[in-house]
Amino acid sequence: MLEIKDLKVSYGAINALRGISLTVNKGEIVTLIGANGAGKSTTLRAISGLIKAESGSVTYEGKSIFNQPAHKIVSQGLSQVPEGRMVFANLTVLENLKMGAYLRNDKAAIAQEMDYVFNIFPRLKERVKQQAGTLSGGEQQMLAIGRALMSKPRFLMLDEPSLGIAPLLVKTIFEKIVEINRQQGITILLVEQNANRALEISQRGYVLESGAIILQDDSAKLRVNDQVRKAYLGG
């Protein structure tokens, strides 16, 4: 469904991605793990068009989306839940969700989507009129995911959904990610520092180190891989 070949990104003199290749098949949950600064977020941001890549190719459903502007990429069914959630704190929860459906015009379908979001995150429904800035970190993460779902994506990228969230909610968030994948058939590319959980819910994983992919395998195998265990799973 998504194929990246030899993607290179640099910030000035710093090579953030030194030519990575990865594939995500339809229906999969694939995770990208690695330490801080390895280039995980950069990868997602290059796919979603938030930053320009230097070279390489990004093919989505057979078409090149390489270096297209972000708003064009969303319209093709890719949606990103950005790192740090980036909910619109000055907008209400409802307005945030409506922003997620910005490119859609079918009111009935949008309402249906919103019902689904409220169904998986009932907490959001209780807070529709509230300003998003007043939500807790976990609630904001729910909102960020819900907002991304409002565009009815076929491909969802999540950047560190567990970052800065109460441990109890982390579990819920990961459960919901699996639920979204199974119920809606949305393909997922998950970037996580919480490698343990990410490998638990994903089918395959890539390990990123200093802007290069050093390992790729089935998640189950990565979990027992010595190198991975030492570096990312705490022994």
Question: Where on the chain is the footprint of another protein (CB under 8 A)?
Answer: 48-50, 69-71, 74-75, 79-80, 82, 86-91, 95, 98-100, 102-103, 133, 135-137, 140, 147-148, 151, 164
Q: Which residues pair with 213 in a beta bridge?
A: 208
For residue 107, the minimal CB distance to another protein (Å) is 12
Q: What angle do CA 196, 197, 202 make, to 5 degrees?
A: 105
For residue 43, the minimal CB distance to another protein (Å) is 15
Instruction: Pull the structure tokens for residue 2.
Output: 């998504």
Considering beta carbons, is residue 88 or 118 the nearer one to another protein? 88
The burial class, CB within 10 Å (0-12 / 13-18 / 19+), for 100 is: buried
Considering beta carbons, is residue 48 or 181 the nearer one to another protein? 48
For residue 105, the minimal CB distance to another protein (Å) is 10
For residue 58, the minimal CB distance to another protein (Å) is 16
Q: How many CB atoms lie within 10 A of CB 109?
A: 12
Tell me the residue ranges of DSSP E strands in 36-111. Answer: 55-60, 63-64, 78-81
Instruction: Pull the structure tokens for residue 167.
Output: 């441990």
Amino acid at 136: S
Considering beta carbons, is residue 53 or 222 the nearer one to another protein? 53
Considering beta carbons, is residue 48 or 225 the nearer one to another protein? 48
For residue 38, the minimal CB distance to another protein (Å) is 21
Instruction: Pull the structure tokens for residue 140.
Output: 């904001």
For residue 220, the minimal CB distance to another protein (Å) is 32
Considering beta carbons, is residue 147 or 197 the nearer one to another protein? 147
Gap between the Cα atoms of 192 and 14, Å rounded: 22
Considering beta carbons, is residue 139 or 192 the nearer one to another protein? 139
Q: Provide the 8-state DSSP code for 154.
A: S
Question: Mind giving me the DSSP string for 162-207?
Answer: TTT--HHHHHHHHHHHHHHHHHH--EEEEEES-HHHHHHH-SEEEE
